[in-house]
Amino acid sequence: MAQPQAAFQGAEFGSAEGPDSKNYWALALGSVGVVFGDIGTSPLYAFKEAITAASHSGTVPEAVLGVLSLIFWSLTLVVTVKYVLLLLRADYNGEGGMFALMALGQSVAKRSAPLLGALGIAGASFFYGDAVITPAISVLSAVEGLELIAPQFEVAVLPVAVLVLTVLFWMQSRGTDRVAQFFGPVMAVWFAVLALGGLMHIADNPNVFHALNPYHAVAFVFHNSILGLTVMGLVFLACTGAEALYADLGHFGRRPIAGAWLYFVMPALVLNYFGQGALVMNDASAMQNPFYRLYPEYALIPMLILSTFATVIASQAVITGAFSLTRQAIQLGLVPRLHIRHTSESVAGQIYMPRVNWILYIAVLLAIFGFRTSSNLAAAYGISVTAAMVIDSLMAFFVIWRCWKWPLWRVIVVVIPLLLIEQAFFAANVLKVLEGGWVPLVLAAMVATVMYTWVRGTRVLAKATKRNEADLDWLVRKLEAKPPHRVSGTAVFVTGDPYSAPTSMMHNLKHNRVMHERNILLSIRTVERPRVLRHERVTIEKVSDNFIRIIARYGFMETPSVPKVLEHARRKDCNIDIGATSFFLSRRSLRTTPKSEMPRWQEHLFIWLAGTAEDATTYFNIPTDRVVEVGTQVAV
């Protein structure tokens, strides 16, 4: 526990700065391109949707002040206070995100570990709903600017949006490391243009600055009952993407992210929203598309192009986030192994997951053709994001209380108000369930069902497999008393439990009646940390003259590799020649049983998931010509 405790103390005082102690400005610019893409494209649709709904409550100026006040204080309390000032300090060995927060809490709240695990699964599930809606609404809202150039272009909106998204998802397999270097400069220009557009119109009606008074936000919600809640749900569109500040902590560090937000991104967003508000106050007809109306007609085409680039970058960040989250879920044993391809030799986080990519692509296209406009998609947006934020706050409560050692009363004073605000936003978004909000809920339920089934099924499978395995120390003693025929070379048995003789070893001994001169039991484990230090990677233990136990440890943000494990072992004087080594793996054929601990539907789902899992040989990068697979049947 000593090592995690040090991480907790660093989390409180911000000592674990990650990579941001050097190259501050480069990292800050990079964070502008990657971290703030989603929240940075919200001005395209957030104010428009909120003011359109709010204008039914009375005079337009009052509606504008209410909406702007809600947007400003949402950005201040939810994004700035919660994520920038609070959660960015809750790093786990320099990493952030849903699973890092979950692991951090589980490390100290052992009795609450199952609850935190369930919250982590739920939060990750809601992220995938966000990953489907974000590219669809962002790209559609940008391309809808075609209608302002010429009304007849309305029929081209859907085809152009589909084309842009198709190119985006097709490019994933080629890697984004070369393109990503342009993300920062493009988004920096985008935020500068946002600020400029707002500044050009704020002078039209300086009364918009009255929205800085939180009274207008509170009064609007309380005086308009159900309509006030509806507008709150739409206002929250301005905060979507806030969770990326914490999730990308390990890539850029706390100071660059916080600095970019406080001194550049948030001021640009506020100026743009207030500019849209001043424009609508002076001309209610601008409500139809206030964002593009901020700019003169000659700038519409350049703005349309820049908006499309910005929404593509925002979508790219979400897609990359889905890849990273899925890899973490695989390492934590929440989903089956999926193929992971590294697209950069220098950046470990640059990965491509074909199955995840094309499932997302199909889901995004279904969302576009199902909703057809960004206004319709706005009704489906928000539920998954607010739910994920509420879950973040619940887990943060444990972390701040148990890891940072704050007094309980202090944690309640800081976290509970934020939690109540987010729950109000969640309740507001629940009102949109029948209008399309059911879509992210269904997506989250499907992902959560898959994760729960996989976790439960692997436990049942491990229990069933254990019955066919023998204690390794017992087997070694038996073999020393009655030695079998030995063959030259090394046999590596890849197993989940290095203290039991794996099924592949028992079957080899039973049917072939031989053992190799040197037998290595290799177990690859995922620890409750994002990354493992090089000197902690491999532990080697000599069981007997013929048996060696190797345990390789990986963090949940790393991808394991057997050749690299053997390279680490070689540095510790355990020389293994891969060319003279046979790798034994157990290939299980699963079948149903009437005595299963799982319901029949879950049993079939688990067997199907197991069948779709990536082959262990490929996933662990084991040389295919050195692998021996031993098949067994297991009833689950």
Claim to verify: residue 548 and residue 410 sit in the same structural domain: no
Lowest average pLDDT, out of 15-19, 122-126, 144-148, 258-262, goes to 15-19
Residue 16 lies in a domain: no
Domain containing 230 — which CATH number?
1.20.1740.10
Residue 15 lies in a domain: no
How does residue 264 score in pLDDT terms, banded at 50, 70 and 90? very high
Of 431, 456, 481, the last residue of a domain is 456
Of 411, 426, 456, the last residue of a domain is 456
Domain count, the chain: 2
Residue 504 lies in a domain: yes
Claim to verify: residue 402 and residue 530 sit in the same structural domain: no
| Contact assessment for residue 10 and residue 104, using Cβ atoms and an 8 Å cutoff | no
Pairing of strands 547-554, 627-635: unpaired
Claim to verify: residue 450 and residue 475 sit in the same structural domain: no
List of residues 6+ apart from 483 with CB closer than 8 A: none
Residue 199 lies in a domain: yes
| 579-601 pLDDT per residue, tens | 788 898 887 788 888 877 888 99
Claim to verify: residue 514 and residue 403 sit in the same structural domain: no
Q: In the prediction, which pLDDT does 449 show?
A: 94
Claim to verify: residue 227 and residue 152 sit in the same structural domain: yes
Write out the DSSP string of 539-575.
EEEE-SSSEEEEEEEE-TTS---HHHHHHHHHHTT--
Claim to verify: residue 209 and residue 260 sit in the same structural domain: yes
Select the more confidently predicted residue: 446 or 557: 446
For residue 95, give the DSSP letter: B
Both structure tokens of 514: 């031989």
Claim to verify: residue 352 and residue 495 sit in the same structural domain: no
Claim to verify: residue 529 and residue 603 sit in the same structural domain: yes
Q: In the prediction, which pLDDT does 179 show?
A: 62
- Asked if residue 425 has pLDDT above 70, the reply is yes
List of residues 6+ apart from 156 with CB closer than 8 A: 146
> Which of 423, 379, 391, 494 has its CA nearest to residue 133?
379
Residue 449 lies in a domain: yes
Claim to verify: residue 442 and residue 477 sit in the same structural domain: no
Of 456, 486, 517, the last residue of a domain is 456
Claim to verify: residue 374 and residue 483 sit in the same structural domain: no
d(CA 636, CA 634): 6
Both structure tokens of 31: 């964070």
Residue 17 lies in a domain: no
Claim to verify: residue 493 and residue 447 sit in the same structural domain: no
Residue 461 lies in a domain: no
Pairing of strands 341-342, 351-352: antiparallel
- Output the CA–CA distances (angstroms, integers) from residue 501 to 106, 474, 496, 541, 549, in the order listed: 30, 9, 10, 15, 11
List of residues 6+ apart from 559 with CB closer than 8 A: 327, 331, 340, 342, 351
- Asked if residue 353 has pLDDT above 70, the reply is yes
Residue 105 lies in a domain: yes
d(CA 515, CA 265): 64
Q: In the prediction, which pLDDT does 58 show?
A: 66
| 48-71 pLDDT per residue, tens | 989 998 887 667 888 999 999 999
d(CA 392, CA 617): 36
Write out the H or E segment, with its range, that includes residue 9: helix 2-13
Claim to verify: residue 376 and residue 497 sit in the same structural domain: no
| Contact assessment for residue 339 and residue 618, using Cβ atoms and an 8 Å cutoff | yes
Lowest average pLDDT, out of 81-85, 168-172, 198-202, goes to 168-172
Which structural domain, as residue segments, surrounds residue 521?
467-635
| Distinct helix (H) and strand (E) counts, the chain | 29, 10
Beta bridge partners of 525: 553
Both structure tokens of 149: 């150039």
Q: In the prediction, which pLDDT does 372 show?
A: 86
